[in-house]
Structure 1
Amino acid sequence: MSLLIYLLVCCKITWFYILGLALNMINKRKAKQTFIDLFSGCGGLSLGLMRAGWEGLFAIEKTESAFNTLRHNLVAGNKHRYAWPQWLPQKNMEVGELIANYGAQLSALRGTVDLIAGGPPCQGFSHAGKRNPDDPRNKLAEQYIQVVEIVQPKYLLLENVRGFNTKFSKEGSEDSVPYSKVVKERLEALGYGVAFRIIKSSEWGVPQHRPRFILIAKFGVASSDFEPFAELDQFRKAFLKSKGLSADRAVTARDALFDLEVAGKKLVANTDSDQKGFFEIDFEEHSQPSSYLKLLREGAGGLAPDSIRLPRHSKEVIDRFKLILDRCPRGINVPRDLKLEFSIKKQAITPLCPNSPSATVTTLPDDIIHYSEPRILTVRENARLQSFPDWFSFQGAYTTGSKHRKFSCPRYTQVGNAVPPLLAEALGGLIKRAI
């Protein structure tokens, strides 16, 4: 009899143990924070958030090529994947289309999403452009706010250019208020405490200066009581240490690119483009990678990255680039007098300094010249400066003609528009810490 009682007690304990494990797994699943990415581009912000432990629900991007890159890596990929609801087609669309056609489904998500992230197109705010207050792309931040109002997530993350926090004109005119103030007031009216700061990407392990406007908001608190950036320096050091990077020395352009230099390499025909007559280096894993290169090569399995097609410059362009490398200061825009001398009409063209972070990577391939070779950078070299890992594959054409540029998003544009994944991962970790 005592043996029977003993067995019954053991079975009861065993079932309680199994039940406890199951409940623990369910709670862990529920505890995983979820996000939606608006104006996602090719997925730099999403990739960083996923690597920080967030679960992506879905992403919205209007251009087909950029969405194809995002889908290839983060929907059909084998490293990180969105959950992706059945009611939403896995295709490119505008945020306005999401609101118009899937309003009921968005409303059903109300209060269940932890974060809405996004980087509304920024050309109208950028100091590198014309800074036009009437640029229709400026109003896309309003669509971001519309989705926020419908879904009411717990947190918000908004990334933009530094000019987002700069007045368009002098005091007294209608556009004298920075757009960041307009967005802050709108979000506060929806019940969010809002904080923002200009952050240099180079301070977070990205080999590129790239100052960005970063806004973080939390539902149900006052702005005066919300300070997610309070321990930013302490968090930065811990984050960089976790990545094997130094908090005291910025990652340089050479740290990121030296294994992709052409000098001493065998050239082979490029194979990931429809255009013939282009070459790329015969890639080999470097025997002494920098700490940054080790980080970006993780997950590549020793394979060559894609998008390493070399440019096909004319002799005239090569000779001009040689002059720039010989005579111009490194790391800054070519001075005006030398632009005139070299017959350069471009607003910005910068020869890289090998021993410091790069200038901001843009959507124009010829804005930056390699630090030791008279050529522009490859798509992959730009992606390295943006901190994309080498396993991340870019889809679509390399470039498009000027008349098609407004309607397409080739690889160079995808990379230039992206949020650096390493910065995004740090921001994702910062918000998780706040939670």
Structure 2
Amino acid sequence: MLSMIDLFAGCGGMTSGFAKAGYTPVLAVEWNHHAAATYAANFGEDHIRHTDIATIRDKDIPQADVIVGGPPCQGFSNLGSRNIDDPRNSLWREYLRFVRRANPSVFVIENVDRFLTSSEFALLKDEIDGYHLSAGILHAADFGVPQRRRRAIVIGSRIGPIPLPTPTHDRWHPVRAVLDGLPERPATTALPATGTDFLGTRVPGVYKSADLHIGRNPTPLSLRRYRHIPPGGGRFDLPVELMPRCWREKKTGTTDVMGRLRWDQPSLTVRTEFYKPEKGRYLHPQWEPGEHGHRVDRPITHLEAARLQSFPDEFRWCGTKVEIARQIGNAVPPQLARSIAEHLRPYLTGGAPTVPTCPLCHTFE
């Protein structure tokens, strides 16, 4: 039995993958209450702490075999201001405090790819003692996630060098693997009116995955725009009269804005506002040419985004629609986490390496 601590745990994407690989969480820390409630709904309230990580005392940090976590990355992300003085960037120091106290055999840091070239990562390498570091970029699609998502992974080991895992899949799973068969027309635009007490406060939920298949009410103008976007297309496929002025004047860049997914390819990165096509390539992939071609003109639903992130359908959710979308977009894909967990196991136990079970592979055999 291998124990783990999940820091900046979010809704539990990393814990989900590690738990599938047989690890037992003994502590998780998450500041956002709705995300912490989702974590508790799936993994129990006994070990989740809904608080600022800096308030947890050293004496309350348990020993663990592994620590995982992704310190907030707003200062490193291409989408952020990339302000190195952003106080959220220094939260990796809290991560190191937990490492020093819990004394894990291995720790794993997950972050945006720019993290590896940041001055903060250079400082981290200078401050960590007794651990051999391996760092690089992993592509989620190489590990069975139907999504193009590049993430920086750092593995620290005090039991000898541990390389990053090598890809487990020689072919990528397409969008069709997880979206095909779901109702094309969501029956509702609202989550069920229910609430639950978690961690001392009432939150919306608990919702089953099926509850997350919710639509939106796009304007007539939005619907007219959607109909012009073919699979793999984007804002450049719109007639000039349907383009807002900012798009007419900006003739380069942002190619995935107002984009449509392809059935036969993985999605692009699922971010926190996947329900807004103007934010990325989030339109449903069903589109046929011709005036009467069969088209599904809507953005993907929360359930579809969760599946693209490789969350299992048995996962449960808490929060508002916006909060759950943030949880989905910010999460480490559980299938990627499981691949990392399975890769670490033989180094931690002396056992034989195993290949993580992929729930989608049988679809294409």
Fold shared per TM-score above 0.5: yes
CA 1:200/1:391 → structure 2, altered by over 3 Å: closer, same or farther? same
Shift of 1:149: 1.8
> What is the identity, as a one-letter code, of the residue corresponding to 1:421?
P
Aligned residue among 79, 90, 97 for 2:55: 97
* TM-score, L = length of structure 2: 0.79
The one-letter code sitting in structure 2 at the alignment partner of 1:103 is D
- Structure 1 distance, partners of 2:241, 2:8, is 38
1:228 matched to 2:163? The reply is yes
Q: Structure 1 residue 207: deviation in Å?
A: 0.5
How far is 1:52 from its partner?
Answer: 0.6
Matches within 5 A, 1:103-252: 103-106=58-61, 109=62, 112-167=63-118, 177=119, 179-187=120-128, 190-219=129-158, 221=160, 226-229=161-164, 232-233=165-166, 236-237=167-168, 247-252=169-174
**Structure 2 counterpart of 1:353, from 254, 262, 272:** 262
Superposed displacement of residue 185, structure 1: 2.3
Alignment root-mean-square deviation, CA = 2.6
SS in 2 for 1:191: coil
Q: How does 1:271-420 map to 2 (within 5 A)?
A: 272-274=191-193, 305-323=210-228, 325-326=229-230, 330=232, 334=235, 342-343=243-244, 349=257, 350-364=259-273, 365-366=275-276, 367=279, 368-372=282-286, 373-399=296-322, 410-420=323-333
Maintained 8 Å contact 1:39/1:61: yes
Instruction: Check 1:354–1:269 CA distance in 2 against 1; reply closer, same or farther (3 A cut).
Output: closer
Change over 3 Å in CA distance of 1:195–1:41 after alignment to 2? same
Asked whether the 8 Å contact 2:75–2:81 carries over to 1, the reply is: yes
Please give the alpha-carbon distance, in whole angstroms, between the structure 2 residues aligned to 1:385 and 1:145: 31
Equivalent pairs counted in the alignment come to 313
Counterpart AA for 1:184: K
How far residue 345 of structure 1 moved from its aligned partner, in angstroms, is 5.4
* 2:182 paired residue number: 260
CA–CA distance in structure 1, aligned partners of residues 158 and 241 of structure 2: 53
Inter-CA distance 273–121: structure 2 relative to 1 (3 Å threshold): farther
Q: Pick one of 35, 39, 52 that aligns with 1:70.
A: 39
Q: AA paired with 1:147?
A: F
**Structure 1 gap ranges (5+):** 1-31, 77-83, 168-176, 238-246, 276-302, 400-409
Does the 8 Å contact 1:159/1:213 carry over to 2? yes
Conserved 8 A contact 1:273-1:398:
no
Amino acid at match of 1:342: M
Q: 1:74 to 1:304 in 2, by over 3 A?
A: closer
Gaps of 5+ in 2: 195-207, 248-253, 287-295, 349-365
Distance (whole Å) between structure 1 residues aligned to residue 332 and residue 175 of structure 2: 18
Task: Please list the CA deviations of residues 51-81 of structure 1 after superposition, one character each: whole Å capped at 9, or x if unmatched.
Answer: 01111102100001101111011116xxxxx
How far apart are the structure 2 equivalents of 1:339 and 1:135? 40
Instruction: Write the deviation string for residues 350-385 of structure 1: whole angstroms up to 9, x where unpaired.
Output: 321221111100011313222222211111111000
Q: 1:55 aligns with which of 18, 24, 28?
A: 24
Deviations 1:199-224, CA, capped at 9 Å, x for gaps: 00000000001001011111265xxx
Note the alpha carbon deviations across 1:12-70, whole angstroms, 9 max, x for none: xxxxxxxxxxxxxxxxxxxx110000000000000100101111102100001101111
- Structure 2 contact 189–216 (Cα < 8 Å) conserved: no
Q: Deviations over 1:311-338 (max 9, x none)?
A: 1211111111222x14xx717x645998
2:4–2:23 CA contact under 8 A, matched in 1: yes
The 3-state SS of whatever aligns with 1:306 is helix
Return the structure number with greater helix share: 1
How many angstroms apart in 2 are the aligned matches of 1:194 and 1:340?
Answer: 54
1:269 deviates by: 4.2
CA distance in 1, matches of 2:72, 2:32: 12
Displacement of 1:120: 1.1
Taking the aligned partners of 1:336 and 1:97, their CA distance within structure 2 comes to 51
Q: Letter of the 1:52 partner, please give it.
A: A
- Contact 2:209–2:317 under 8 Å retained in 1: no
Q: Helix, strand or coil for the counterpart of 2:212?
A: coil
Is the Cα–Cα contact under 8 Å of residues 273 and 397 in structure 1 kept in the other structure? no
In structure 2, distance between residues paired with 1:340 and 1:71? 49
Distance in 2 of aligned mates of 1:91 and 1:192: 27
SS for the counterpart of 1:127 is: coil
The letter of the residue matching 2:11 is C
| Whole-angstrom distance in 2 between the partners of 1:127 and 1:362 | 13
Larger strand proportion of the pair: 2
